[in-house]
Structures are given as structure tokens and as C-alpha cells.
């Protein structure tokens, strides 16, 4: 189990706080599950004379009433949040970026309540009517539903990454049509490619939004961080291997570079080295203590934006040298030249390429 950081509280106190939070989460959950609208509740139902039905008693009745009034069905997030806090305290873990997580928790409660209010509206429980998102959801619901003449004037294209029914709710909630008319709105042709407001032109989550959509987001983040091998910091990317040695392999021009060294170093996250080790590990292979490798790169066309890369590697031990014997500081010793030549020759003889035009 990975520990984010040790709690600043003494261990026994931290464990006690964790157990207390777990107990409070369980009590809160039981109070919500056994909620009875007719129970006598402080500040809410003061004229009832019968004993509370809630399993936690009058305190549980108060907690359940207050929770449902504020967050509606989103109140079930409260015991979940307390359980998470209890887990961290019990194991003496100090969560990182605590203020960010608090803001995220506030957003989670707010957005969940607003969604429940938008999706379900008012619900009835044992004869008592309340908003499915509570007072918070109702307030946010009122805030995000704009007049029909405002938002539609400035929107001409939609990408709604959600379930099939969600666009109907969003079109109604954002004022593009009246409540209950979402079905007629989407079947009128207005969201088609030739309509006034094309929606989910890539197919949305039904076609590509989940895996491929997230992959594109991940790629964008990595590019911005320059954490990929083909980072494009200037917006226009071309491959440049002019520092490598030109060779002819399978009748095609390649750029050659070689390397050697230990295999116990930490590869760059997301790089070719890390991916190669993961692939070999999944296949059940173990790396030798030291390796030598050659990289051959062919640029497919004059745009220098497409490449064919071949990496060939061997155990360094059969060469009769160690990495320390072949390196003088940061520069390879003369002995490496002969070892490299044999490595390249074996790579070119064992790797077969059949040049064919790309289609």
C-alpha cells in the first residue's frame, strides 16, 4: 500500500480519529437508510409527539432530515466522504493537496445535487415531497437554466460526452427547448450534420468518446508537458536525426545510433524505454545486467513527419566487455567501435524488411 505522507497527529490519536470517522459514517448511513419523514426532528418537525422511527433515534432523524433537505439523494455522499477521511486517519496518511481535494469535494456535492435536481426534479417519499438534489441542487438548477433567448443565440455546435438520454436533459435544462420537448427537438434534424446545431459529430461516447477521446486528452497533456518522445513544442513537428550516422539498410536510407549500459536505471516515464520494459515483462522476459542496442530510423517522406524506427538490442556480456570498460567518462572507448560494428551487422542480418509503397 502506497503511503502519501505521514499524518502530523500522533499515531494513536490518528487511529482513534479514523475509527471515530468510520463510526460516524456508519451512523450517518443508517440514519439515511431508515429516514422517516414523519419523525419528530429538531427545527423541522417539532409538533410530532410519537417516538422517532429512525434507527439512530432523534439524532439520526435530524441528520437524515438535514442531509436530504440540503443535498437530496446526494446526501449519501456524506458517509462515503467520512469513510475516506477515516481511512486516511486510521492508516496515518496525510493526503497531498488537501485544499484542492476540499474544493473537489465541494464541486462533487454541488454538481451531484444539481444533476439530481435537473434529472429527477421533485420526488415523493412516504407522502413528503422534496427536491431530488435538495436545496443546493434546486438553487444550482435555477442558476444554470438560462432563458431560451440567451444561450442558444451563441451556440452553433455541441459535443456532449454523456449517456444517450443526457443530451435531451441538457437541451431542456440549458433553454434550447422547453422541458419535455427534448425528444422532438433532437428528432427535428436540428442536431444533424446539416442542421442548425450539429451535435456529437464524432459519434460521442457511443462511438469513440470513451477510450479514444480520453487517449486524445492524455496525448494533449503529455505534449504540453513535453513528456513524449515526439514532443511538438512549436506546433510544427518534424523528426531530426542529423546527429546520427547515415547508413543503407534493406535498400533504404536510415539514421543509425547505438548505445550501451546497465538495465537497472529508471527509464523516462512514457518513453520508449519504459514501454519496451513493460512489453518484455508482460511476455515473461528478464533483462540482462547490461545491454547494447542500435536504433535505425527511416524517414518515410520529405516532410520528415513520418518515421520507421527499428531498435535491436543484445546482452552486452558475450562481447567480453562491461559498460565500464567501454566508457571513458561520457565518451565510448575505441573498443566500442568494433563491438558496435558487429552489433549493427547482426541487426541488419536478422531483421528482414520488404520495402513496399505505403497505401
> Is the model's pLDDT at 79 over the cut of 70?
yes
What does the pLDDT read at residue 209? 52
How many helices (H) and strands (E) the chain has is answered by 11, 8
Higher pLDDT: 324 or 118? It is: 324
- The more confident residue out of 289 and 6 is 289
Mean pLDDT of all residues in 122-135: 74
**Cβ atoms of 176 and 158 closer than 8 Å:** no
Q: Which three cell numbers stand for residue 116?
A: 439530481
Average pLDDT over residues 27-34: 90
Q: What is the structure's pLDDT at 1?
A: 35
What's the CA gap between 328 and 331, in Å, rounded? 5
**pLDDT tens string 49-59:** 778 888 888 88
Higher pLDDT, 294 or 111: 294
C-alpha span between 135 and 72 (Å, rounded): 8
pTM across the whole model: 0.40
**3-class secondary structure, 72:** helix
Q: What would the mean pLDDT of 117-143 be, rounded to a whole number?
A: 74
Q: What is the pLDDT of residue 3?
A: 40
Which of 28-42, 98-112, 246-260 is predicted most confidently? 246-260
Determine the Cα–Cα distance for residues 170 and 174; give it in Å rounded to an integer: 6
pLDDT of 229 reads 56
| pLDDT computed for residue 142 by the predictor | 62
Average pLDDT score over the chain: 78
Is-contact 62 42, C-beta < 8 A? yes
Evaluate if residue 212 carries a pLDDT over 70.
Answer: no
Residue 150 has pLDDT above 60, yes or no: no
Question: Phi/psi class of residue 13: alpha, beta or left (left: φ > 0; alpha: ψ in -120 to 50)?
Answer: alpha
pLDDT (0 to 100) of residue 226: 64
266 or 357, higher pLDDT: 266
Higher confidence at residue 169 or residue 199?
A: 169
Residue 187, number of CB atoms within 10 A of its CB: 10
The pLDDT of 145-172, averaged and rounded, is: 62
Percent of the chain whose predicted confidence (pLDDT) is above 90:
21
Give me the helices (H) in the chain, please.
11-33, 57-71, 77-90, 98-120, 134-144, 166-173, 182-187, 204-207, 211-225, 272-282, 335-350
Pairwise pLDDT comparison (75 vs 223), residue with the higher score: 75
Q: For 3-17, 143-157, 229-243, which range has the lowest pLDDT when averaged over its residues? A: 143-157
What's the CA gap between 289 and 264, in Å, rounded?
A: 7
How many CB atoms are located within 10 Å of the residue 183 CB? Answer: 13
Higher pLDDT: 95 or 106? It is: 106
Cβ atoms of 286 and 332 within 8 Å: the answer is no
Strands 128-131 and 122-125, by their bridges, are: antiparallel
Residue 18, C-beta contacts closer than 8 angstroms, at least 6 positions apart: 86, 87, 88, 89, 90, 91
Share of the chain above pLDDT 70, in %: 75
Q: Which of 32-36, 131-135, 153-157, 185-189 has the lowest mean pLDDT?
A: 153-157
What is the average per-residue pLDDT within 137-147? Answer: 63
Instruction: Report which listed range, 9-23, 225-239, 345-359, is most confident.
Output: 9-23
Q: What angle do CA 311, 312, 316 make, to 5 degrees?
A: 130
Read off the pLDDT of each residue in 352-358 and give the average, rounded to a whole number. 68
Amino acid at each position: 500500500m502506497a503511503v502519501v505522507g505521514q499524518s502530523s497527529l500522533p499515531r494513536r490519536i490518528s487511529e482513534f480519529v479514523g475509527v471515530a470517522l468510520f463510526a460516524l459514517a456508519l451512523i450517518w448511513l443508517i440514519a439515511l437508510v431508515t429516514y422517516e419523514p414523519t419523525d419528530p426532528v429538531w427545527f423541522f418537525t417539532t409538533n410530532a409527539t410519537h417516538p422517532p422511527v429512525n434507527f439512530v433515534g432523534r439524532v439520526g432523524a435530524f441528520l437524515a432530515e438535514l442531509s436530504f433537505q440540503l443535498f437530496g439523494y446526494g446526501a449519501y455522499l456524506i458517509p462515503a466522504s467520512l469513510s475516506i477521511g477515516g481511512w486516511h486517519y486510521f492508516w496515518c496518511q496525510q493526503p497531498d493537496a488537501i485544499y484542492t481535494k476540499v474544493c473537489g469535494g465541494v464541486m462533487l456535492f454541488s454538481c451531484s445535487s444539481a444533476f439530481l435536481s435537473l434529472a429527477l426534479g421533485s420526488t415523493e417519499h412516504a407522502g413528503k415531497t422534496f427536491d431530488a438534489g435538495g436545496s443546493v441542487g434546486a438553487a444550482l438548477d435555477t442558476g444554470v437554466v438560462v432563458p431560451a433567448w440567451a444561450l442558444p443565440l451563441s451556440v452553433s455546435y455541441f459535443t456532449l460526452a454523456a449517456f444517450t438520454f443526457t443530451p435531451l436533459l441538457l437541451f431542456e435544462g440549458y433553454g434550447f427547448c422547453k422541458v419535455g420537448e427534448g425528444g422532438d427537438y433532437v428528432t427535428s434534424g436540428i442536431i444533424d450534420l446539416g442542421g442548425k446545431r450539429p451535435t456529437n459529430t464524432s459519434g460521442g461516447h457511443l462511438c469513440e468518446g470513451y477510450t479514444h477521446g480520453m487517449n486524445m486528452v492524455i496525448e494533449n497533456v503529455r505534449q504540453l508537458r513535453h513528456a513524449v518522445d515526439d514532443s511538438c513544442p512549436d506546433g510544427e513537428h518534424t523528426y531530426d536525426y542529423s546527429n546520427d550516422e547515415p547508413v543503407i539498410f534493406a535498400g533504404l536510407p536510415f539514421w543509425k545510433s547505438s548505445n550501451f549500459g546497465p538495465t537497472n536505471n529508471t527509464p523516462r516515464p512514457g518513453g520508449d524505454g519504459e514501454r519496451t520494459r513493460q512489453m518484455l515483462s508482460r511476455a515473461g522476459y528478464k533483462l540482462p545486467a547490461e545491454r547494447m542496442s542500435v536504433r535505425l530510423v527511416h524517414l518515410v517522406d520529405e516532410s520528415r513527419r513520418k518515421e520507421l524506427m527499428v531498435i535491436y538490442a543484445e546482452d552486452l556480456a558475450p562481447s567480453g566487455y562491461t559498460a565500464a570498460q567501454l566508457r571513458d567518462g561520457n565518451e565510448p572507448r575505441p573498443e566500442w567501435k568494433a563491438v558496435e560494428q558487429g552489433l549493427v551487422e547482426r541487426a541488419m542480418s536478422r531483421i528482414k524488411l520488404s520495402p513496399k509503397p505505403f497505401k
